[in-house]
Amino acid sequence: MWDDEDDDEGWDDGDEEFDAGKEHDKIYRHPLMKKAKDIFGLTRALVGSLDEARKELYGNIMMEDATVMSTKFAGAESISDYVLKMEKAVIMKVHAKSLYSMTYQLGMEETHAEEHLELLREAIEEYRLLFKEWIKGFDTDEKYDDGWGIFTD
């Protein structure tokens, strides 16, 4: 069933060996990831203090937004393809904006002191500025057409 004779054909060892620990450290020490983790903590605290009805209504959405901001970053940092990096970046942006707008919804409903909501807004603004710097570093020459025509010119 399996042809084991040519298992190594086409395999490129390359000159460098992949170091998962080094890659992990690079991703988790990045200022954008650190800020995403701060946002996650602030979001978890806010959601934790919601009453049950609002927690059910807003909590899962807010926690998803905060989680996606870091997980998509980790995915984008681990690849070189411009198209895939941009796809992940757009998803990060959408979730950051969603979480930001949620702070105004909670503010209108007077669920938290405005100062608590403002802490999360400020963290998201800092994230936005770091995000803008981060995407400037994407290599537009490293792109592969995935057949969808987005970010390919």
Fill in the amino acid letter for 47: V
For each of the domains in the chain, give its residue range(s) and CATH number, in order of start. 29-134 (1.20.1440.60)
The contacts of residue 135 (CB under 8 Å, 6+ apart) are 85, 86, 89
Q: What is the pLDDT confidence band of residue 7, given thresholds at 50, 70 and 90?
A: low
Residue 40 pLDDT > 50? yes
The contacts of residue 111 (CB under 8 Å, 6+ apart) are 49, 50, 51, 54
Task: Report the C-alpha gap between 81 and 85 in whole angstroms.
Answer: 6
Does pTM surpass 0.85?
no
Q: Do residues 68 and 95 touch, judged by C-beta distance below 8 A?
A: yes
Dmax of the chain from CA atoms? 68
Residue 146 pLDDT > 60? yes
Task: Report the C-alpha gap between 104 and 76 in whole angstroms.
Answer: 29
Distance of CA 31 to the CA centre of its chain: 12
The string of pLDDT tens digits covering residues 83-137 is 999 999 999 999 999 999 999 999 998 887 889 999 999 999 999 999 999 999 9
